[in-house]
Structure 1
Amino acid sequence: MKNIIFSIGASFISISVLPVQAATEHKNFNAVLQCRAIENNKDRLSCYDKSIQPTRTKVAEKFESRDQCPDEKDDDRRLSCYDRFFSPTFTPSVNSKSKTEKPVTTEAQQPNLSEISKCRAENDKEARLKCYDKLFPQDKIVKAESKLEKATDVGKWHTSITTSPIDDSKNVILSLESDDYIRTPFGEAVTPTLFIACREKKTEVFLSWDVYLGLEQTSMLYRLDKQKAVERNWLVSTDTKAVFYKGNDIDFIRKLANSSKMYTKITPYNESPVSATFNLNGLSNALKPLQAACNWK
């Protein structure tokens, strides 16, 4: 009798564990990384769906988390969701069809941080600028149709304007290298870069240090001009090498635009503190296309 009760109990426990294991496997996003190299959209989506079983239970108005991807009902939007949070690693080919149609600006993918890091590592200024221009090509269609006022003095800010593959809105990304470089634990010299972005009408600020910062969030100090230094928690990016501002991004950007310099200091995981200074001059002019794209009030 005891053996029977034990057998039933063991079966109940094993059955109860199955949904937990299934949920864990359902959200195992590590399995999708190999799919990023597949250029064909249909095959790439099939790879994603095999890696993470889709539920097809919702239609999201806006993708804010990779957890939404498996739940998206529409195949094209589900692929767009995966491509947003897992940047494809292939180089899109130009075929005869794309030559006869409008430039494929709606298919443009945002460069990932590893590609940006290669540009920052380039010592020659002219070569580094060419590298950035290749990563952030100007959308000629947007440029021709746009009535945005041409910025006069944008300082050292670089601007990228492309078309969102998700909702066809303008994606505007501003980037600014620091005045100095830092050393990684392996002795490599890297240049921290500040980014201000409007993507799918969402404004965000993040700073790429290109060194391992830990998980989830970390503390970073910043000081604008002669103001009192502020130390607060920033969210760590998924690649663990950048931090996102945690708070009202637009208010923070306005403070940056009213300043000429920002000093920053952070402590990489298990390492000594590193610091970087950014020359913010020209930001007010550089912000104009971003403000229009994100409908700032």
Structure 2
Amino acid sequence: MAAPNLTPSDPSTFILKGIPGLEDAHIWISIPFSTFYVISLLGNFMILFVVTEEKTLHKPMYLLLCMLALTDIGMSTCVVPKALCIFWFHSKEITVDGCLTQMFFLNAAAAMQSAILVTMAFDRYVAICHPLRYATILTNSRIAKLGLVGLIRAVLLVLPQPLLVWRLPFCSNRVIPHTYCEHIAVVKMSCGDTTVNRTYGLVITFVIIGLDLTLIGLSYVLIIRAVLRISSKKAHRKALNTCTAHICVMLVSYTPYLFSVLTHRFGQGIAAHVHILLANLYLLVPPMLNPIIYGIKTKELRDKVGKYTCRM
């Protein structure tokens, strides 16, 4: 009965298979998918609402947190609604244009998120190493400009990716063994030469992630050096505690992403459903955990969220 769903009736469409090998468990898999998605939407929209309403939170750090919340919402929304349609309604068809659009916005949001994490590291560096100059170095307008630079970088680097896929020929095989239009999964369907696509995909991954992790690492080397110069252990803990939330968010964001990318490209012995589950966890878990981490670790934000929660 499921066989007709794996044959696109229109040559301008692809078929998203879902999670190969776990089709019978799609309904059960949809439960954590939908739960994580709802929690992430509630958490991130709560942060956006509270920061917008509270003028005392109109500061660079909270502006960055709002940017992170927007990218988290964008990343998960690019994927989860369509994945749930596959799981619940067996709605597996997606147009080529829709597929490439999803690919662009998903990868642009991921690149933007990485740029925001770099800016957050710079924010922590200035707060700890130059506390007296923090207000003059990091103004709201400067943070907005850095955010715009990150957005422009994301668009310029990611836009060629779907355009290069668009020029590829696709023959009889138009079934994507995935829940969304992941770049490599789409490229593998082509019956043409995909060398340029694979090379460009790998290059922008290492350019974005490699450069951003290097900048973040440099920021924390300078932070640790500044902290070690402080004689008081209490001051040590206070300084490092301001970085805890950012470090947790980085680990939650980068670790599953790098693991997913590396296993997808080089882990040939790993089952397909493991690749796909890892790729989806990267898009589900960080957007859910990020507002929770900052809500717990940032007292000022926690207090304001508590105030509005009590009113409800």
TM-score band, normalised by the shorter chain?
under 0.3
Greater share of residues in helix: 2
Which one scores higher on RCO, CA 8 angstroms, separation ≥ 6?
2
TM-score normalized by structure 2?
0.24
Greater share of residues in strand: 1
TM-score normalized by structure 1?
0.25
Over alpha carbons, which structure has the higher Rg?
1
